[in-house]
Amino acid sequence: MKWIIPIVLLMIVASLGSALYYMMKGRGNSSKMVYSLMLRIGLSITLFAGILLAYYFGLIEATGIKVGTN
């Protein structure tokens, strides 16, 4: 899980960058831009669901900051 999450995050950023490229190149009328944005949304949903499942199955643990403790 240490490597999967950063790799998927990089894929999301790359997809967003390619959508920006196709938007600038095609003046916003490119089907490649729409495909890149759909891919980004799919990757984001998959990453979120994967994190939830990994937490549910105990592959990752919550280690957040404890609020209200003295």
- Whether 31 maps to a domain, the answer reads yes
Note the pLDDT of residue 33.
86
Half-sphere exposure (Cβ direction) of 34: Cα atoms closer than 13 Å:
4
Q: Considering the domain boundaries, does residue 11 fall inside one?
A: yes
Is residue 68 in some structural domain? no
- For the chain, the domain total comes to 1
Residue in this structure with the two tokens 């999301």, named with its chain if needed: 12
Q: What is the pLDDT of residues 18-69, one digit of tens each?
A: 988 888 887 767 788 889 889 999 999 999 999 999 989 988 888 776 666 5
Residue 38 lies in a domain: yes
Show the domain range for 30: 3-57
pLDDT tier for residue 70 given thresholds of 50, 70 and 90 = low
The answer to whether residue 67 is domain-embedded is no
- Shortest CA distance to 4 belongs to which of 65, 61, 57, 59? 59
Structure tokens at 27: 């003046």
Enter the tokens of residue 24.
């600038």
- Residue 52 has a pLDDT of 92
Residues in the chain: 70
* Inside any domain, residue 69: no
Does 16 reside within a domain?
yes
Q: Say what the pLDDT of residue 22 is.
A: 86
